[in-house]
A = this chain, B = another copy of it.
Amino acid sequence: MIYLDNAATTYPKPERVYSEMDRCHREYCANPGRGGHVLSIRSGQAVANAREELCGLFNISNTMQLSFTKNATEALNILIKGYLAEGDHVITTAMEHNSVMRPLKALEKEIGIEISVLKSNEYGEIDIEDLERSIKSNTTLIISTLSSNVNGIIMPVKEIGGAARRHGVAFLLDASQGAGSIGVDAEEMCIDMLAFPGHKGLMGPCGTGGLYVREGIKIAALIHGGTGSNSESFYQPDYMPDILESGTLNTPGIVGLCEGARYIRDIGIDNIRMHKHRLVERLHEGAEDIKQVILYSRNDMYKNSGIVALNFKGVAASEVSYVLDKAYGICTRAGMHCSPSAHRTMDTWETGTVRFSVGCFNTMEEVDSTIKALREIASTIKY
């Protein structure tokens, strides 16, 4: 089996992720912050270590500003709904996932916000001057994905953050695709809010994610409940991370995420990026040689976080993905990938695309087998 669906979730994870989660489960997993006994304290320490490790990865100085969530979707909902108010104008890109667009459209309906989606070229690339021109007096937030989950296009995050900062507008980065192989620096990129999944490029388990909020920015709680703090009060504590971390945390998951982040630190984020680039480059070149193939991703290390998006002319994406799975044991994903406007942008609204998303553990041999499979599929197509 060749797993090329790493943009959905990375598989496999580093061995240390599995083994430390299992050790946490078996040796010490109590409820962190909910008791003074030895296991609760050890669990709390494990969570604190993970907070520190992730803050190191994202260059966040105050570890208390990072909260854990169950996935990036929860993080994005907390940040978007906890920040935006009636009448606010938000600017975003055409390559956003439904985890950004659906909360925005819900707020548009429920409280009345204004949404501007930036124009882009056929790869989804935006123009910073266009972004700056779009800022109005009621613009309070700019949201961008780090890179597209459909074609891997990398956004000019540092430039977006700089423009937002210059105009006094908050910048929310959705790092769902790219965190773990593209450096994310909260300071250098002027990131005011960050949402990330644990189970994709950060190599942690499913069920993990998190968010960061710059000090001074107030986010209203989306989920209220027990925090192990201010226990005598019916009201949510107003400080980070407790305000955004109600209920029992996923301690074993967070331990796994911490190990994923440590793995990345040990291997080196640039080495992971280079490895993924080489795989994407080879797959791109192989696919370019097949005349029936249309490519929607860019073969450029600085413009692609690790995805090859393609179609065979006149063949349904789902059919190609199905054959790759059944006949070749190659796992890809076909369809809209929960990002409808990306497909409007790429002119693949009618067809969707087949997505090949590489990860740390894919090999050149796997890519070569995939190219061979694509060639064979091409040879069977009759026009």
Out of B11, B106, B224, which one reaches A102, CB within 8 Å?
A: B224
Question: Most chain-B Cβ atoms within 10 A of its Cβ — which of A11, A72, A76, A318?
Answer: A11
Q: Is A333 an interface residue when CB atoms closer than 8 A count as contact?
A: yes
Which residue of B18, B37, B99, B102 is within 8 Å of A321 (Cβ)?
Answer: B37
Interface residues in A1-36 by Cβ distance below 8 A to B read 1, 3, 5, 8-9, 11-13, 17-18, 21-22, 25-26, 29-31, 34-36
A199 within 8 A of B: yes
Chain B residues with CB below 8 A from A1, complex form: 38-39
Q: Which of B103, B234, B247, B343 contacts A105 (CB 8 A)?
A: B234
A286 lies within 8 A of chain B by Cβ:
no
CB distance from A98 to the nearest CB of B (A): 4
- Give min CB distance, A48 to chain B, whole Å: 16
- The answer to whether B99 and A225 have CB atoms under 8 Å apart is yes
A225/B331 in contact, CB under 8 A = no
Asked if B250 contacts A322 (CB within 8 A), the reply is no
Look across to chain B and name the residue whose beta carbon is closest to the beta carbon of A249.
B206
Residue in A329, A333, A343 with the greatest tally of chain B CB atoms within 10 Å: A333
How far, in whole Å, are A73 and B227 apart by their CA atoms in the complex? 10
| Cross-chain contact of A8 among B34, B197, B232 (Cβ < 8 A) | B34
Establish whether residues A101 and B40, one from each chain, have CB atoms under 8 Å apart when the complex forms.
Answer: no
Q: Which of A316-350 contact B (CB under 8 A)?
A: 318, 321-322, 324-325, 329-340, 343, 349
Chain B residue nearest to A256 in the complex (CB): B25
Give bound CA distance, A13 to B24, whole Å.
Answer: 12
Residue in chain B with minimal CB distance to A38: B325
Asked if A25 and B13 sit within 8 Å, CB to CB, the answer is: yes
Give residues 159-199 of A contacting B (CB, 8 Å). Answer: 197, 199
Within 8 A of B (CB), among A270-328: 318, 321-322, 324-325
A232 lies within 8 A of B35 (CB): no
CA distance A330 to B36 in the complex (A): 11
Does A235 sit at the interface, judged by CB under 8 A?
yes
Q: Complex Cα distance A1/B41, Å? A: 14
**A37, chain B: closest CB distance, angstroms:** 4
Q: How distant is A81 from chain B, measured CB to nearest CB, in Å?
A: 9
Task: Say yes or no: is A381 at the interface (Cβ < 8 Å to chain B).
Answer: no
Q: Are A77 and B224 in contact (CB under 8 A)?
A: yes
> In the complex, which residues of chain B have a beta carbon less than 8 angstroms from the beta carbon of A106?
221, 224, 235-236
* A334 closest partner in B (C-beta): B36
The answer for the CA separation of A318 and B70 in the assembled complex, in Å, is 31
CB atoms of A30 and B5 under 8 A apart = yes
In the bound complex, do residue B250 and residue A250 qualify as a contact, i.e. CB atoms below 8 Å apart?
A: yes
Within 8 A of B (CB), among A73-107: 73-74, 76-77, 97-99, 101-103, 105-106
